[in-house]
Structure formats: structure tokens, C-alpha cells
Chain A
């Protein structure tokens, strides 16, 4: 049986990269004695997959991973047990039962929302204006360098919601494996008319939610409709 686990990541641990974060959870799951299923073979590993890697420097209030379990004995304590093995800044927010036929977390990801504040005076000065300009523009082209050359893309088609709120940029954009919009790419496209691209450290990025599309094509969270078991 499979379950989906939600967690948040705030504070200094934002400097822990995705792979290290995964290793951290592998150890924690083992220490918490969650009955996780191991792969067959000579070097068995936990059957664990993360929905959407979080970049170094980013914080998040909604991260997810899928876990295959061998049993649900004592399931109601899993969340508390796993939380006891966390470190400062990482908190597990619930275990959700996943139907056997459900696609894995990573394949489900369709969009993600973010909140970004800036350590850059110009950005703070022009944010409101830049967002309005983005909303009213018919197209906003972002250029991305890839192995096969520069790929142009109209961000208007990939950004589903965008607003300025209390000095922060809040947006929801495509996060599917084929069309993911990097928060920094959107920011730099937004401010392109005003000033040079910013450094990553000038943006304080918090991921707010990760979404999938339901049968009606609507964006819903990765745990939408799932039964919370812990």
C-alpha cells in the first residue's frame, strides 16, 4: 500500500539540497520505524519518491513524497513518530492513503505556487508596476538556454495566476516536468524592462503549494480527496 506524506521546510535547512533532504528522510523513516517497503535486490532501498525537488535556498510550506508501506499497523502514530525524528525547520504535516492505481507524486505535478520577497530595492520599487504590466501584456517572452540552443517561451501561457500582495510576489505557474517555470526565470522576465537579472540570493522564495489536475482539469493539491491516516 502507498501513502503520501506532506511536510514543510523552513529556516536554515533551506540550504540543504534535494538529495541530502532525501537522505535525511530515509534515515528519519528508519529511525521512526515506519514499516516502509524496501526494493528487492542486492542493495535494497526504501521505496520513496519525492514529488518535486526543492532548490537550494528555497523554503516550502507544502512538500510531498510517496512511500510504499508493508503494513498500516499503528498508522495513526506515523506522523507523530516521524516528526520526532525531524530537525529544526522540518515538520511532517500528515500521512495520506494513496489508491494503488494512483500515479506517483512526480508524474502528478502540474503546477506550483510561490511567494517571493526581494532583497533588492529596485525590485521592491517596481514590483507592483511590473506585475500590472505582466497582466496586461499579450505575451511575455522568456529565453532559456538549452543543449539545442535558445528556447523562447511565452510565460503568459504558463503563469496561471500572478499578483502583488503586501510587497510580495505571489504566483501559480506550470510545474509539470515538460513545462516547469522556474521562479527565478519568471522574476527576471518580470523585471527585464527595469533592470538587470537578479542573483538568486536576492529572492526569498517560499513554495506555497504543489498542484495536480483533477478529472475536470482543475488544479487541486496533491492530497486532494485522499484520506488522512495520520
Chain B
């Protein structure tokens, strides 16, 4: 039996001790004497959040398929345990072996959202690893980052020895081989990092220097050695049907936020919405073959005993085999008493039929994401969904017995006017009207139409057409949320409409981190020292402390958020090549301002640049 790192005394007084004991079904134990590389994979948030993430499961499965490597996991200790570990100087440990993180060869941290940045420092701090790459020695693991936020790694560059840019399945073997060779030949840590910079997709922040102009903009970003590449190109998996997939994922004892099987059907998105970062980062579109997916589904069901399965992709309706796949799953799952959790499908006859087959009589709600209230603004953001689509979809659904509609919008999109904001209320009202016209009173069975409109605040992200766009100020956001509410209250059917909006504070910080540069790192350290941690959680988020930290570090928030960027500005993330060219994004930015819609990948190639990978499902030009 494994010995735990924490005593019974501690485990009996903290919340959810099962977070820290490992030993879950399908977790991997290896014999240390047969292992050459120890890798610890980290999701810097609570266990039940991190365990829901497919990316780590894929890499965990891949690493452990390497005979010489043992991959383990670590998550952020909750606030209760965090306090105890600091008081008693207990080093952070990995779940499987319960050994200290500091004794590992690699610590891989996945960066899924900006608001986890102080938790990276928590992980390093509790592990006893220096925050800054330059202060580490071979006594410390190589700290490597990956995931969506690593596409602008600059605000946190100082905390990492390496970043892996792109999909992890391709280059880790090469990196581990290099590591083994360099350790055997007693290379220095610096030498190893230097060698690693020659591997495609690997970015070594310490080997680059940034100079700034007087106005704070980047003047140059250059490697300090001639043989270090000037740009780092994103890695992509060439064939999704022939790669690693975790068909025996670790099954948590406690309920994770996604307590279900995940079937990843495709990567990339044909849609090209101009605010969406994922839509650009994961280009080109690649599909996993139907036969492989059917096989995976069968194995997953067999290996886990999960009671629910869901599909994962950016836009499942666009998967070319979606009908056959869903009908297959319906058959397969019905017999085995497994729920299908439907992805957000475009609402049409097919999806309603599928929903009818998999959902019970208590019909769940329909979801639309128009993102903007007016057709004009939807053209600006290149969201193909029209009012007619929404009303027609709703009509079909109301006929089928649904009476709940959820709508998602963003406030603060570029060029937004009061008319666009008022459009949100009007659109909701039209849907309610559609309901009353579609369903005669005697057929409503005393039910009412329920429309829920939610708004989030738009945050410009790197590698989107809107990377040039100024973000709104907090006051503007609040005013716009207020106007949205007023706009809804003016409607005839306002009693059928519920309105939710998100808080503004977190959005401001997310805006800074998203397009930040290396000057942000000291602010993150300062905020952490002031007690900021778990910033993604309302109950622990301390906005005042963050403002103090910015102030004390002399960093101007507006420079990163609300400033107007020129077309030729050098961005901190320009050295990363995701395949999609800056030229294309700029063209899209101008198209946005001209309210011009761009066709999706399936209808017409726009020459974004991702075709250069030679593997895009729709890249035939």
C-alpha cells in the first residue's frame, strides 16, 4: 500500500481529502528502478477542475506509454491545505508516488485560462522551486508550460524554463530523449535549455531579449544566440486517427466538474469568428475518423463504467460525420444505459430529432450564441448566425415542445453602439413572440416561455482579428450591462426574459494578461505576495490587491487593455507562428471594421496560412 504524503491528522481536517491521495482507477504506478524520466503534469486549479481536462489525460496516457517515463499528476491544494502546508513546511507532492514535486525531472503546467497565473506561483512556492527560471539549478525540475495561454507566454515567461507551443503529442519524445542524453553527458541546465530551443515548437524564454521603445511598445525581440530560432512554429498532430488517445482515463473518486467520458471528434473550427482565439489557434481543421471514434467510444465505455458520454470539439455540428456518429452513440448507449450529453449543436431538424431521442420528457433548454444583438454587429464579428436562423430554430423547437431558450451575448465588441445593445432585448422579444405565435394557448399546458440572456464582456485575445481592438473600460462595461437590462425591460414580453451578466473586475485583469508583455511578471509576483491566489474563484479574488500590485510596480493597466493599437504594432506574441498569418488577421480586422462577412473554410478558403501544415480537412487550395 502506498504511503501518503499527508498524515491522517491533516487529511481528516481538510475538505475533500480524496483530492490528495491518488490511487484512482486507471492511475498509473511504475517501478522507480525502471524509470529514467519523472514527469509531473500540473493543472493549476483544484483537483475536480483539473481532472476534467482532456488535454492532461491525453498527455498522461502518452507519457506513461513511454517505457522509460513515469508521468504523475498534481493540482492546486485548496486554501485549507495550502495554509497547513505553509505552516508545517510540507512540500507539494505528486498524487501517484506522493513524492515531492521538486524531485521530478519535469513539471509540466497546463495554461488553460489567464486567471490561473498566481496559482502557478503557488505550485512553485509550495514545491520549493524558485519563481524565476534563472534562479533554478539541476536540483529543480524543468518547468514547462503549454496550452492556450502559452500562445502569449510573455507575462509568465520568467516563471518557465520552456514552453511547448502547440499540440503535445508530437515533440515530447524528442525532448525527453534530449534530456536523457544531456543528463548522461553532464550538460549544464543552460546547455540543455539551449539544445531544447532547436526542437520545433519549443520556446525557451531565457534565450530571448526584448527591448522597448520610450512609449512602452516593443522595439525588438531577438534571440541571444545566432542558432536560436527567431520564430517558434506551433506543432500540430498530422493524423488525429493515428495518435494517442486515453481510452482508459483516470476515474476520480470524487465528482469532477465533467463527470463523463469525452470523445474528441475534431480539432480546429471552420467558422472564423473574429473574437474567437481557439478558432484560430487550432487551425487547420482536422477530423478523427468515424471508425476510430466508434472504436474509442466502445473502449471508453468498457474501461470506465461512466454513465455519460459527451463529444468534444469547437463546433460539433461541423463534423462531417456528425449524424452517423450520433445515431451510432444513441444505439450503443441506449442498450448500456449511458446518457449522451449533447454538445451545442446548431438547432435544426436533425439536432432536435437527436435531442428528442436522448433527452427525457423534461425538455432541457435550447442554446443559441448570437454573441451580438444586431445583424450589423454579427457581421463585424463574422458570426454567421442570423435572426432568421434563430427564429426558425426556435419555431421548430417550440413545435417540438421546448419552452426554454438560452442566449449568449458579448458586450464591448469593436464598433458596438447603443443600437446593437438594444438589439439584445429586441431579439429576445422576437423569440418570445415566436413562441406565442407557434404554440396556441390551449397547447401551452400552463407552461410559460423562459428566455435567459447572458452577457459576458469581450476581451481581445492574441491571434484573433480583434488583437488590435481596444477593450472597453470598466465603466463602459457596467453602463452597457445597464443598457442591456433597460433594453430588455422595454420589451413587450420582458416578463419572459431573464438577464444575467458577469462581473467586470476579472475581465480587466484577463485583458491585461491576454495581451501582456514581460513587464507583467513582476506584477503577478507582487499580487501573489499580497495574497492573491485562485483568482478564477469569486470568493478568493481580491481586486483591490491586484490594483495595488499594478500601482506599486508602476504598470499601467490601460496600456494593455484600452489603448488603440496601430496596424503595424509589434505584439509580444509575434514570434510565435501558428500557421495563421498576421497579414490574414489584419485583413480580417479591416473586414470587421467594414462590416464585411468572410466565408467559412468549407465554403471558400480564405488563405489564412494554416494550409501550410498540409493536413487541413478543408485546405485544398
8 A Cβ contacts from A171-205 to B: 199-202, 204
Does B448 interact with chain A (Cβ within 8 Å)?
A: no
For residue B441, CB closer than 8 A to chain A, the reply is no
Contact B18 A201 (CB under 8 A): no
Given contacts A56-B12, A88-B2, contact A12 B21 (CB under 8 A): yes
Q: Is B401 an interface residue (CB 8 A)?
A: no
Specify which chain B residues have a CB less than 8 angstroms from the CB of A201 in the assembled complex.
Answer: 7-9, 11-13
**Is there an interface contact between A12 and B361, defined as CB atoms closer than 8 Å?**
no
Contact check, B8 vs A31: say whether CB atoms are below 8 A apart: no
From B362, which residue of chain A is reached at the shortest CB distance?
A: A42
B382 shortest CB reach to chain A, Å: 40
Cross-interface CB contact of A12 among B23, B304, B362, cutoff 8 Å = B23
Contact flag A12-B4 (CB < 8 Å), given A27-B251, A27-B307: yes
Check A27 against B8 for contact (C-beta < 8 Å). Answer: no
Picked from A12, A26, A43, A202, the residue with its CB within 8 Å of the CB of B22 is: A12
Q: Is the CB of B21 within 8 A of A15?
A: yes
Find out whether the CB atom of A57 lies under 8 angstroms from the CB atom of B8: yes
Q: Which residue of A lies closest to B4 (CB)?
A: A12
B12 contacts A199, C-beta separation under 8 Å: yes
Known: A12-B4, A87-B23, A201-B9. A20 touches B253 (CB 8 A): yes
Contact check, A89 vs B1: say whether CB atoms are below 8 A apart. Answer: yes
Q: Which of B335-370 contact A (CB under 8 A)?
A: 336-337, 360-362
- Cα distance A89–B29 in the bound complex, in angstroms: 14
Interface bin, chain B: 20 to 34
- The answer to whether A27 touches B18, judged by C-beta atoms less than 8 angstroms apart, is no
Q: Are B337 and A44 in contact (CB under 8 A)?
A: yes
A: interface residue count bin:
35 or more
Kindly list chain B residues whose C-beta atoms are within 8 Å of the C-beta of A76: none
- How many angstroms between the C-alpha atoms of A216 and B449 in the bound complex? 63
B17 within 8 A of A: yes
A38 at the interface (CB under 8 A from B): yes
Indicate whether B25 reaches chain A with its CB closer than 8 angstroms. Answer: yes
Given contacts A12-B2, A20-B18, contact A31 B23 (CB under 8 A): no
A30-B307, A119-B8, A201-B13 are known contacts. Are A38 and B337 too (CB-CB below 8 A)? Answer: yes
Q: Which residues from 23 to 40 on chain A have a C-beta closer than 8 Å to any C-beta of chain B? A: 23-24, 26-32, 38
Instruction: Tell whether A167 is near chain B: CB-to-CB under 8 Å.
Output: no
The answer to whether A7 has its CB under 8 Å from any CB of chain B is: no
Q: Would you give the shortest CB distance from A181 to chain B, in whole angstroms?
A: 20
Contact of A16 among B7, B253, B303, B361 (CB under 8 A): B253
In the bound complex, CA of A217 to CA of B223 (Å): 84
Asked if A53 lies at the interface with its beta carbon under 8 angstroms from chain B, I say: no
Look across to chain A and name the residue whose beta carbon is closest to the beta carbon of B3.
Answer: A12
User: Contact at A56–B17, with CB atoms within 8 Å?
Assistant: yes
A-chain residues with CB within 8 Å of residue B11 when the two chains form the complex:
15, 57, 201
Task: Decide if A209 is an interface residue (CB 8 Å cutoff).
Answer: no
Q: Say yes or no: is B254 at the interface (Cβ < 8 Å to chain A).
A: yes
Nearest CB in chain A: distance from B190 CB, A: 40
Chain B, residues 283-306, CB within 8 Å of chain A (1/0): the string is 000000000000000000011111
Whether A10 and B305, one on each chain, are in contact in the complex, defined by CB atoms closer than 8 angstroms, is: no
Closest B residue by C-beta to A57? B12
**Complex alpha-carbon distance, A31 and B247, angstroms:** 13
Interchain CA distance A4-B302 in the complex, whole Å? 24
Say yes or no: A200 contacts B12, CB within 8 Å.
yes
Candidates B2, B8, B12, B305; contact of A29 at CB < 8 Å: B305
Instruction: Decide yes or no whether B255 CB sits under 8 A from chain A.
Output: yes
A225 at the interface (CB under 8 A from B): no
Contact of A26 among B9, B24, B307 (CB under 8 A): B307
Residue ID in chain B nearest A10 by CB atoms: B1
Complex contact A87–B17 (CB within 8 A) = no
Contact between chains at B305 and A27 (CB < 8 Å): yes
Given A28-B25, A87-B27, A119-B8, 6 further pairs, Cβ under 8 A = A12-B22, A16-B18, A29-B305, A31-B304, A43-B360, A87-B24
* Interfacial residues, chain A to chain B (CB-CB below 8 A): 10-13, 15-17, 20-21, 23-24, 26-32, 38, 42-44, 56-57, 85-89, 119, 199-202, 204
- 13 pairs, A vs B, C-beta closer than 8 Å: A12-B1, A12-B21, A13-B23, A15-B18, A16-B253, A20-B253, A24-B251, A27-B251, A30-B305, A30-B307, A42-B361, A42-B362, A202-B9
User: What 10 pairs between A and B have smallest CB-CB spacing?
Assistant: A31-B305, A27-B305, A30-B305, A42-B360, A201-B12, A15-B17, A11-B1, A12-B21, A201-B9, A87-B25
